[in-house]
Amino acid sequence: MKKVAFIVDSSSGIKEGEYPNVYYMPLIINKNLDGQITSYKDLIEIDNKEVCELINKGINVSTSQPSPGMIAELLDKIADKYDDIFVLPIHEKLSSAINTWRMVVEDYKNVHVIPQYSLSRWSRIQLEELIELSKKKDLTEEIVKNYIESEKKKWLGFLIVPNVDQLVKGGRVSNFKGMFAKVLNLKLIITYDHNGLVFLDKASKYENCVKILTKTFNERINLDKSKIKNAVLMKVNYHNNKYDIEPLIDLLKKEYKLNDKTPRDVLPSVITVHTGIDYAAIIVRVE
């Protein structure tokens, strides 16, 4: 069997050393305090809780991709150890990091950059399935691409954001729309799939958010006719939220017949920087 390795970045929530032959490349979190910018390697020099604390204090934070030098340094260390290395970077609709990867790997014939579309616990699930697949057959770039392509229309995620402050601050929502949403107490509903994060709708009540989710699930992945294979619930693990998200989580569990064994996770820091610390998310895959 070929010896293969995988490289993930911090959008996956996977840390260095969690899996054999899986390597980690941090994305960058930037703190801007009175014009003084300090940069941190995500999940190495700063964690999700610390990012939430910065946001809660009103400190400006942003994200950036790893430098070509960081990428080349990692590849120089491991390229000769493996027959093939598969890089699974953050979605290209969310970051231009994939272009940097593609540029750097031109010098490494055994390194393949393949967009995986997923985030957080979903990245972990897909990685674990690829690792198991690698134990049964020699992986090629075509096999990994086909796996991801075959899965991408079987799952769909939603992000519900009741507090638009961070979206406005990052320029993702205009000041006018942000003010409008706050005055009417609207929650923004964003889809997440192979098209990236896309604004879907808005609603004033959590119950109406769930109705919109269910309608879109049924339209996109035929949830009404299919059995759920995997589901992941996500909310920020931070005590200082302005909004109580747990009632929405309870509604999601009830609507989709999920239980306490359903995996719970947080969005990666690089996404929380843009959404803020008040959110709930669900990702569902059908068989």
- pLDDT for 238 equals 83
Dihedral (Cα; 157, 163, 164, 169), 10-degree rounding? -120
* List of long-range contacts for 141-149, beta carbons under 8 Å, 24+ apart: 141/84, 141/86, 141/112, 141/114, 144/86, 144/112, 144/114, 145/114, 148/114, 148/115, 148/116, 148/117
- pLDDT for 190 equals 94
Could you tell me how many helices (H) and strands (E) the chain has, helices first? 10, 13
Query: Mean pLDDT score of the chain, rounded to an integer?
Result: 92
Higher pLDDT, 168 or 90: 90
Report, as an integer, the average pLDDT of 152-175. Answer: 85
- Scanning the structure block, which residue is given the tokens 């589901």? 231
pLDDT class for 65, splitting at 50, 70, 90? very high
Q: Does residue 171 have a pLDDT over 80?
A: no
- pLDDT for 117 equals 86
Nearest to 57 by CA among 37, 83, 31: 31
State pLDDT tens for residues 89-131: 998 888 889 999 999 999 999 999 998 888 888 899 999 999 9
Q: Does residue 213 have a pLDDT over 90?
A: yes
- pLDDT for 92 equals 85
How is residue 61 written in tokens? 């934070």
State pLDDT tens for residues 236-284: 888 878 888 999 999 999 999 999 899 999 999 999 999 999 999 999 9
